[in-house]
Every structure is written in C-alpha cells, then in structure tokens.
C-alpha cells in the first residue's frame, strides 16, 4: 500500500510505530547533518527527519527534493524535541528509513500556503494547485459537511431527492438563458435551467408531496462577488402548505445548519420584516441587521428653509453614526466622495455633528436655525458625540439605495459587520410586480408562478402594481441566502398572471401550456424555497466571494481561465449543428 496513515493522523501515542506516509513536499530545510521535510496531504502536515549520520544516501536524496514533489516515506514515529503547538501533529516526527519519489514536480508559480503570493488570476489559472492550500480545501470540506447536513435534515422531514433535467426549454421571462443547440433537431435549442421551478411544481402535481434537490443552475448575467454563471441551489417544494409552513420548516433547517456546522444554537424565532419596512429603514430588501443606523426621513424637518437641494428633493433621509462626531474634515470628504462614486451615484452629502454641549453644527448651518437642527437631532435620536449623515434626491428608491451603501460603509468603518456575528431575518410581503423601464411594462418581481396574497387578488384587475406576493426571502448579515413563495395552483389565476405580464394567450400556451394543462388535472396548493448553497458556505466560512467555496469557479468575465472556456468551436462541429456564426466585434 502507498500509506498506512495520513499526514494529519499521527499523535504522541503513536511513538515507536513504523509507518508509511505519502503526500506532497511542502518545504525542505537543511540544518547541519539533518534534513527536515514537511510532508502534506489533504489531512495535514507531518515533519519527516533525514539524518546524514544514519543514512547518508537517503539524506542526500532528501536534499534534492523540490516543492510539491510527490513522495512516499517509511519510518519510525518519534517524539519531537522542539514541538510545534500550531500543528495537530506537532508533538511527533517521522525518522525516515525509506524514501520513494512517486513524481517530481515543476516549481509551482505561487506558494502553496494559506497566505500565498499568488494573485487571483494566477491562482484561477492553476486552480488545481490553489486547491492544495489548506484554507481553500477547508472551504470545500465545509461545503461537503453542509450538503450532508442538508440531506440529513430534509430526509428526516420526509423529503425525496429527485433529479430534474439539465436540458430544458428556454424561458426568456427572467435572466438570460444559456442555450444549447440540438444536433438532432436542427435550428432548435435547449436551455440550461435557471432553476427547476416548473419541474418541481409538476412533481407536486404528480403527488411527490415533498421534493428536494441540490442542483446546478445557470444564468447568463453579469457577475459580482455573490454570483457565478453556474451556481448550486438547495431546491425544495412542498404540497398542502401555506407560507408559515414553509418558513417554519426552512427556518428549522437554518437553525440545524448553525448548530451542526458552526456550533451555534438559535432558539428564538427569526424576526420577520415586510419588504416595505426593509426599503424604508434600510434601503435594501436584504438588510444587514447586525447593527442599527436605520434611516430616518427628514422631509418634514428640513424642507422649506431655503436650502434648494432639500426643498426640491422627493426624499431626504439620514443615518446617525454613534460616536463619530470626531470625524475630521478629510474623513467626511472621503465619505462624500464614496457616495458620489458612479456605482452609487449620489450628488453629495450633508453632515451634522452633535457636540458635547448638545449644540448641532452642520455643513449647511447658514440655512437652518439651531432650533431646527435640534429638532433634526431629536428626530434622529442623536446624542452628544454622534454624527448625522444625510442624503437627498429626486427618486425615493434610488436615494434610499444610496443611503444603504453609506450605512454599510459606516458599519464597516465602525467594525459593526463582524463575520462571526450572525443576524437572521425573513423579508416578507414583496410586491408582486415591478415596473421595467426597458420593457415598458410590469414584470414579475420573483417569477410569474408566485401566488398573490389572497386579500390582494381583487386588485389584479384594478391596481396590479399594489398587489403583494406570498413571497419570502431569508436574509443573513445582509445576504439573501434563499427565497421562495407559495405558488399559483389554479390555471385561471395563472392565465390572469400571464395576461398582466403582457403574454398573449398563444404565447403563454406555447411557453407554459404544459404547466397550466397540468393544473387542470388536480394541482394541490404548494410552495417552496431555494437556498443558495454557495452563499451559505461562504457565509459560514467568512468569505467575501462565493468563488472561494467553488472548486472550479469562473472569473468576473465568466471565463474559466484554467480550461480557457468559453472557446470557439471547430467548423466541423458548427457544420454538424447546422450553425453559421455572425459575430459582431465591439
């Protein structure tokens, strides 16, 4: 056999045993007559000792080992003289008696260590080397443990794991599809699923009752830290349920994951916040509630005093940063430049300090009396030593989103966004529709299969924009880790929904006739939720990007730089698919 033990296994109680280890050379250190080799595998690192006085040829061979060579070593476990408390194996070492080089290696382009000297692009090009680093490996081990914990929980709750197809029909309503040409059906295309939404609803029609799947999904959209073109969902659906049934079961799953993976027991129920309140007080439908600094609307206090920026604004809102009245002019200017960045888009920022004596000093003092500024400070519940930051604008929602970014930045600067602190909540009562300027029509905020709240159904005919959905998102630390809804199970209501969304009856039948027809054969009330596995893992691992918990991720341009994909097809492949390309080069 290649090994009797792993490199992370041996302890002091193994002293005297003869063992064989195999792995990669982490480093070689020569110290007089001794050569020390740190041998690494997935399980850890063990120190190997070669002594020139015991076996000069063996020691000479060890001196020629390079980093990342694959070797096999046999020897005797001994207690270390200089112990390493930072290693689980730090109490022992192996006195080598045999060495076998299994494979030599080129010098890697970056150090295979936790604090590597390799940049993102270089590490992604050599991802198979990057995966040898312990912190990246730990992320994949965490991902594995979470998948096991999910399956255990759902199995106990009576769910069946059922696979759905990877080749489906295209559904242009929503994000862009990745499409796949069909050789046997020239000129026709499959799509890779954005989610198994309609398929899991059909499973409910079929009587499967409780379904789940840890499934790959695909969306051809612009990338950011929490998005990849392919991602993994914990996808679930249940029959004969209402909103509270789904929320309670998957809140239970969240608590199970916290306890099983992080050792954190959460007994209290997660708070629920309406979408309207989330936007009003946080400017986001995924608010970070680890800290306060909620928005206060100041229109009634600050309008009508001759400051034209505020007098003409549709919205004036502020946050109170505790203990920040000591911010220097340079720091305040930096905050102003922060909100004026193109990706945020504010035109400027107004600030006010509450001084030790209670007086309020503002950047727009000349327009306001001390009495008005005191009224503002009272509305903000500001105390001496606090700093008030104010934004305004012509678009209420846009300005709230800008204020959200400012709030998050202040939370970061004040150390209030601790990755080891978790704040969970449900955001509920989302709008059913949102207006698309690009399309010039109402679009489904989630998807067209979401059930409207029963009490709002009459407004589908009179004021559809005011209709709320039986939809819910779980948010942890400002990250949407999952969301779902109660689904429409009535074919007439589903047809009405398509009508509001601008579908002709013919188009609705063409794209979704299979689902509406299925509803006519006895569809149960049903609903579900999908958690983002990548987001859960990155949250528990304290990562800033989901890329670091995916074995082979894409870069920000959607490319796999290791495989050099996507790439052109051979002409013979295009001919076989009966495709001609007309590529427009920008």
Question: pLDDT higher for 502 or 381?
Answer: 381
Domain encompassing residue 179: 120-268+528-586
Residue 72 shares a structural domain with residue 41 = yes
Q: What are phi and psi of 93, to 5 degrees?
A: -150, 165
Residue 478 falls within a domain, yes or no?
no
pLDDT of 257 strictly over 80: yes
Domain presence at residue 447: no
Q: Are residues 144 and 262 in the same domain?
A: yes
In a domain? residue 302: yes
Task: Tell me, yes or no, whether 129 and 253 share the same domain.
Answer: yes
Q: In this structure, are 45 and 149 located in the same domain?
A: no
Q: Give the residues across from 72 on adjacent strands.
A: 22, 100
Looking at residue 545, its pLDDT comes to: 87
21 domain-assigned: yes
pLDDT at 13: 96
pLDDT the model gives residue 337? 97
Same domain, 142 and 254: yes
Residues 331 and 211 in one domain: no
pLDDT at 586 over 70: no
Query: What pLDDT, on the 0 to 100 scale, is given for residue 1?
Result: 86
Query: Do 242 and 296 belong together in one domain?
Result: no
pTM for this prediction: 0.91
Of the candidates 413, 430, 446, which is a domain's last residue?
Answer: 413
pLDDT of residue 502: 87
Q: Are residues 257 and 125 in the same domain?
A: yes
Q: How many CA atoms lie within 13 A of 465 on its CB side?
A: 5
- Give the span between the Cα atoms of 309 and 350, in whole angstroms: 10
Scan for tokens 């004026």, then name that residue.
340
How does pLDDT run across 186-195, given as a tens digit for each residue? 999 999 999 9
Per-residue pLDDT at 400 exceeds 70: yes
* Domain count of the fold of the chain: 3
Asked if residue 255 and residue 131 are part of one domain, the reply reads: yes
Instruction: Say if residue 442's pLDDT is above 90.
Output: no
Instruction: Show Cβ contacts of residue 163 under 8 Å, excluding neighbours closer than 6 positions.
Output: 213, 215
The pLDDT score that the predictor gives to residue 175 is: 78
Domain end: 413, 434, 466, which one?
A: 413
Kindly state whether residues 124 and 92 are assigned to the same domain: no
Q: What is the mean pLDDT of residues 72-85?
A: 96
CATH value at residue 83? 2.40.50.140
Helices 243-257 + 134-156 axis angle, to 10: 140
> Has residue 192 been placed in a domain?
yes
Instruction: Give residues with Cβ within 8 angstroms of 571, minimum separation 6.
Output: none
CATH of the domain at 325: 3.30.1360.30
Q: Could you report the per-residue pLDDT of 3-41, keeping only the tens digit for each?
A: 999 999 999 999 999 999 999 999 999 999 999 999 999
For residue 273, being part of any structural domain is answered with no
Which residue from 8, 4, 17, 5 is spatially nearest to 78, judged by alpha carbons?
17
**172 confidence band (pLDDT: 50, 70, 90):** low
Tell whether 204 and 301 lie within a shared domain. Answer: no
Report the C-alpha gap between 573 and 453 in whole angstroms.
50
In this predicted model, what pLDDT tens digit does every residue of 91-103 receive, in sequence order?
999 999 999 999 9
- Using alpha carbons, select from 293, 278, 225 the residue that is nearest to residue 539: 225
Write the CATH number for 220: 3.30.930.10
* Beta-carbon-side half-sphere exposure of residue 582 (alpha carbons within 13 Å): 0
Q: Which of 46, 73, 103 is the last residue of a domain?
A: 103
- pLDDT average, residue stretch 292-321: 96
Nearest alpha-carbon partner for 405 in 345, 331, 483: 345
pLDDT at res. 436: 82
| Alpha carbon separation from 110 to 53, 115, 120, 553, 562 (Å, rounded) | 34, 10, 11, 19, 15
- Tell me, yes or no, whether 443 lies in a domain: no
**Cβ 303 vs Cβ 296: under 8 Å:** no
In a domain, 279, yes or no: no
Same domain (yes/no): 155, 238: yes
Mean pLDDT (the chain) is 94
């Amino acid at each position: 056999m290649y090994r009797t033990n792993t490199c992370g296994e041996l302890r002091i109680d193994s002293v005297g045993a003869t063992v064989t280890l195999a792995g990669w050379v982490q480093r070689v250190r020569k110290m007089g007559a001794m050569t020390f080799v740190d041998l690494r595998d997935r399980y850890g690192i063990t120190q190997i000792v070669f002594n020139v006085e015991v076996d000069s040829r063996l020691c000479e061979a060890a001196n020629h080992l390079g980093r990342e060579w694959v070797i096999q070593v046999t020897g005797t476990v001994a207690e270390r003289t200089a112990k390493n408390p930072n290693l689980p194996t730090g109490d022992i070492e192996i006195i080598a008696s045999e060495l076998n080089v299994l494979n030599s290696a080129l010098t890697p382009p970056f150090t295979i260590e936790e604090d590597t000297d390799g940049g993102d692009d270089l590490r992604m090009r050599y991802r198979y080397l990057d995966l040898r680093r312990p912190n990246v490996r730990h992320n994949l081990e965490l991902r594995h443990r979470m998948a096991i914990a999910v399956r255990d929980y759902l199995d106990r709750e009576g769910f069946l794991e059922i696979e759905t197809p990877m080749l489906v029909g295209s559904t242009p309503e929503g994000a862009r599809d990745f499409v796949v040409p069909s050789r046997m059906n020239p000129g026709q295309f499959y799509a890779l699923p954005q989610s198994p939404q309609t398929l899991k609803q059909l499973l409910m029609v079929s009587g499967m009752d409780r379904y789940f799947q840890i499934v790959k999904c695909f969306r051809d959209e612009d990338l950011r830290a929490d998005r990849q073109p392919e991602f993994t969902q914990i996808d679930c659906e249940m029959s004969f349920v209402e909103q509270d049934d789904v929320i309670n079961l998957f809140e239970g799953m969240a608590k199970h994951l916290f306890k099983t993976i992080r050792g954190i027991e959460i007994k209290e129920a997660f708070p629920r916040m309406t979408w309207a309140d989330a936007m009003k007080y946080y400017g986001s439908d995924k608010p970070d509630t680890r800290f306060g600094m909620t928005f206060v609307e100041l229109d009634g206090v600050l309008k009508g005093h001759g400051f034209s920026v505020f007098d003409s604004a549709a919205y004036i809102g502020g946050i109170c940063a505790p203990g920040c009245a000591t911010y220097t002019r340079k720091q305040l200017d930096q905050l102003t430049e922060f909100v004026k960045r193109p990706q945020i888009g504010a035109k400027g920022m107004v600030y006010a300090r509450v001084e030790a004596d209670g007086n309020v000093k503002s950047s727009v003092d000349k327009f306001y009396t001390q009495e008005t500024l005191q009224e503002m400070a009272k509305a903000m519940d500001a105390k001496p030593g606090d700093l008030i930051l104010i934004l305004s604008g012509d678009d209420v929602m846009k300005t709230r989103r800008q204020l959200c970014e400012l709030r998050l930045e202040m939370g970061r600067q004040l150390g209030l966004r601790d990755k080891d602190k978790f704040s969970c909540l449900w955001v509920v009562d989302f709008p059913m529709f949102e207006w698309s300027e690009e399309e010039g029509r109402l679009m489904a905020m989630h998807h067209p299969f979401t059930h409207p709240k029963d009490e709002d159904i009459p407004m589908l005919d009179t004021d559809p924009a005011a209709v709320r959905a039986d939809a819910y998102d779980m948010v942890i630390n400002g990250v949407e880790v999952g969301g779902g809804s109660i689904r429409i199970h009535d074919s007439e209501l589903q047809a009405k929904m398509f009508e509001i969304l601008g579908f002709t009856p013919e188009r609705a039948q063409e794209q979704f006739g299979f689902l509406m027809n299925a509803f006519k054969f006895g569809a149960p009330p049903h609903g579900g939720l999908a958690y983002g596995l990548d987001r859960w893992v990155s949250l528990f691992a304290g990562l800033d990007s989901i890329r670091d918990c995916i074995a082979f991720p894409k870069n920000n341009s959607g490319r796999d730089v290791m495989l050099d994909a996507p790439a052109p097809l051979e002409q013979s492949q295009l001919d076989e698919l009966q495709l001609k390309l007309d590529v427009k080069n920008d």
